[in-house]
């Protein structure tokens, strides 16, 4: 932590800060510059709150030096984490594609999709049974009935199941059916849910909130990791910007940023990230070229009648095309797929 004093600060002011710093169990190291006095603080700044120093008279700014997360950091664990989801390894050499409908609607829709995406090369099946919708007047998911249909699809195709859990109270139930528990973007900072996922044994797919900084994203992962569950996969799904031609702005810059700062795998969701089926294939290619470990793609046998997210869903045929095009890029990147 570095404390910048205001231009009017005297040595006496520095003394006051020093005493505060020491009372917090840290050491202060003042540097007398030409225009400012700056105080270096030695010790683990994560244990104190910035406010405890920034409000002392004549303190201008307090600048944290250390990242707020520990367990999620590559500094702590230099090698890549590889997460095993029903036998599929995410974060290693393999590029993994998760595919399936936004919502589980009925047996036929789900099984037809599952078979088709499996044939095209998907490794895991996604499908929502509990749906957090913007409007209270539209379909909110089939609930446990949806989970049972996912189980059926797994039994038939062998694809592991990825599905969302919306609330602490549902974790146990959803974990019975799911191989990978998804935390939706709107719940990225639902700290209760994150804590309860820290106690499960199932891997977690943590989606980035629309307005989350990287620090916030990794701190949400830290909640799960610090609870004892090391199996966290990050997912970029678009940020909110002023841009008008996509529903969100898929941010591929976060891929190398995560790879640099964290050991956790990161996959990309171009379906939500763009909100447009016609942009999903080019952005999927770009995501893999940027270094993402995989993709999660919405697919529906007939998007025009989908209960949700039809505009961003690929048809079964378009998904086959995606797998072909993305496969070539993965190959160029030296990845298996």
Residues 301-330 that bind a second copy (CB under 8 A): 303-311, 328-329
Residue from 142, 290, 299, 323 in contact with a second copy (CB under 8 A): 290
Task: Based on the shown chain and the rule CB under 8 A, indicate whether residue 144 belongs to the binding site for a second copy.
Answer: no
CB of 224 to a second copy, least distance (A): 9
Closer CB to a second copy, 283 or 316, in the complex:
283
Site string for a second copy, 154-173 (x = CB under 8 A): ------------xxxx----
Q: What are the phi and psi torsion angles at 283 (to 5°)? A: -75, -25
Q: Which residues of 14-46 are buried (b: 16+ CB within 10 A; e: fewer)?
A: beebbebbeebebebebeeeeeebbbebeeebe
Task: Based on the shown chain and the rule CB under 8 A, indicate whether residue 239 belongs to the binding site for a second copy.
Answer: yes
Closer CB to a second copy, 121 or 291, in the complex:
291
Residue from 10, 22, 25, 33 in contact with a second copy (CB under 8 A): 33
Q: Please report, as residue ranges, which positions from 92 to 121 form the binding site for a second copy (by CB under 8 A).
A: none
Task: Based on the shown chain and the rule CB under 8 A, indicate whether residue 87 belongs to the binding site for a second copy.
Answer: no
Closer CB to a second copy, 31 or 317, in the complex:
31
Q: What gap in Å lies between CA 205 and CA 316, rounded to an integer?
A: 24
Q: What are the phi and psi torsion angles at 25 (to 5°)? A: 85, 15
- Nearest-CA neighbor of 114 among 161, 146, 147? 161
CB-count burial class (<10 Å; 0-12, 13-18, 19+) for 329:
middle
Count of residues of this chain found to bind a second copy when the rule CB under 8 A is applied: 108
Q: What gap in Å lies between CA 190 and CA 131, rounded to an integer?
A: 16
């Amino acid at each position: 932590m570095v404390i910048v004093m205001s231009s009017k600060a005297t040595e006496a002011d520095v003394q006051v800060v020093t005493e505060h710093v020491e009372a917090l169990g840290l050491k202060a190291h003042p540097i007398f510059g030409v225009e400012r006095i700056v105080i270096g603080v030695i010790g683990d700044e994560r244990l104190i709150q910035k406010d405890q120093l920034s409000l002392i008279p004549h303190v201008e700014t307090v600048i944290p030096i250390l990242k707020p997360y520990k367990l999620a950091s590559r500094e702590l664990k230099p090698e890549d984490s590889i997460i095993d989801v029903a036998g599929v390894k995410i974060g290693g050499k393999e590029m993994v594609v998760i595919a399936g409908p936004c919502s589980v609607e009925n047996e036929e829709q789900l099984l037809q999709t599952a078979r088709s995406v499996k044939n095209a090369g998907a490794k895991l099946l996604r499908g929502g049974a509990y749906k957090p919708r913007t409007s209270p007047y539209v379909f909110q998911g089939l609930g446990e009935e949806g989970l049972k249909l996912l189980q059926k699809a797994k039994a038939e195709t062998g694809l592991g199941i990825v599905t969302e859990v919306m609330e602490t109270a549902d974790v146990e139930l959803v974990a019975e059916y799911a191989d990978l528990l998804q935390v939706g973007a709107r719940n990225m900072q639902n700290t209760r849910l994150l804590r309860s996922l820290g106690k499960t044994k199932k891997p977690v797919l943590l989606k980035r909130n629309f307005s989350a900084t990287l620090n916030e994203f990794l701190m949400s992962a830290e909640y799960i990791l610090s609870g004892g569950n090391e199996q966290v996969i990050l997912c970029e799904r678009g940020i909110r910007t002023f841009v008008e031609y996509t529903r969100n702005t898929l941010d591929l810059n976060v891929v190398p940023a995560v790879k640099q700062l964290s050991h956790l795998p990161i996959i990309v969701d171009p379906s939500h990230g763009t909100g447009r089926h016609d942009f999903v294939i080019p952005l999927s290619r770009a995501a893999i070229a940027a270094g993402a470990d995989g993709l999660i793609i919405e697919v529906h046998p007939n998007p025009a009648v989908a209960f949700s997210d039809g505009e961003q869903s690929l048809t079964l045929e378009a998904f086959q095309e995606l797998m072909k095009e993305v496969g070539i890029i993965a190959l160029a990147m030296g990845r298996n797929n």
